[in-house]
Structure 1
């Protein structure tokens, strides 16, 4: 069995090398090249996870690509982060409809397997700004955050794959701006919001 490697926090000045010689570009160069477009769906999702982690001082633990949830609070509370935006990195005729993926997941495709939402709570992050000339994902006042216990999703939408913002609001999530995000997450009692497994449909 091949063991996983331990990821270490990089500073950005780590050089690329070839045959023992340092090249004139480094990890920071790679980050700038690959991660400067923050409106794109994939990177905006990671940015949302970072923002949520920052609100509860959870940035010391590095992001793991294949974890069953996105952020873990110091209390052990497991958080799934979802992101959506009215504006995209491509040309649009009108703002996008806000929706999020909420599907229960499993580890295999075995018939009859138990699927579940692995986190204790969900934080739905909406980049709510609608003016392309001034949209900036780094301006946290442009974001809205909606916190919902996984148990509510399991009760109201047990096998649902996606949810629109209007349908989410019907579930009465806690709506906050960034300055209250960490405090609202920390209010959640880890023991009271454990997700319930959802049996896969035949």
Structure 2
């Protein structure tokens, strides 16, 4: 593991994503930040941008990091014009492909004595279908593809969740999870890589990798052919 350094960040590289819909104000909790006070005035309405900045400024929290990972994958798939649906049976849909996005990180928002062990939730569940407001009759993994997103930076002074170069992506057909770990609830990074052999890819390769994994999941092509499919767009 790397030791923390005092190196200052340089200018953001081209690999950095920007969240245009979130104005990332800082507020220090003392009333001296950029969160405007309405004291002495009549409240007529709240500012959505200010709320988003107040609520979601810390991208390292587990819940916010998970939503960010979904956003990164959605952006790679070119489906950011759609809106995120909370609690749907899978996180993203591209065409007829359901995608489940899981995230993990070594560095957390709280003070740590050591880096976090990496594990992902793969628990089968009775998924809720937002399109018709129904639950599945039995617990299962509803998506066609799982994308495991790992924020790899281990230096708190250098970590930047908006820099896609700091993320690793592992893409796996759901059929492989069902075949090898059908009822398992979580999986650590080591066994995931050693036993299930997900395809590691860059941000730019995500779309092709997801489509190839979906084809494997539906029995259209084998795992070997899926590797060749990565060259397709």
Separation of aligned partners in 2, 1:54 and 1:121: 16
TM score, norm. by length of structure 2: 0.69
**Does 2:203 align with 1:182?**
no
Deviating above 6 A after TM superposition, structure 1's stretches of 4 or more consecutive aligned residues are: none
Separation of aligned partners in 2, 1:104 and 1:47: 22
Any conservation in 1 of the 2:151–2:161 contact (CA below 8 Å)? yes
Separation of aligned partners in 2, 1:107 and 1:182: 24
Aligned partner of residue 44 in structure 1, secondary structure: helix
Higher fraction of strand: 1
- The Cα of 1:193 is off from its aligned counterpart by 1.4
Q: How does 1:5-154 map to 2 (within 5 A)?
A: 22-23=44-45, 25-73=46-94, 75-106=95-126, 114-154=138-178
Aligned residue pair count: 172
- The Cα of 1:66 is off from its aligned counterpart by 1.5
Structure 2 residue ranges without an equivalent (≥5): 1-20, 24-41, 129-136, 220-233
Separation of aligned partners in 2, 1:184 and 1:12: 29
Corresponding residue for 1:200? none
Structure 1 residue ranges without an equivalent (≥5): 1-10, 14-19, 196-202
TM score, norm. by length of structure 1: 0.79
Aligned partner of residue 34 in structure 1, secondary structure: helix
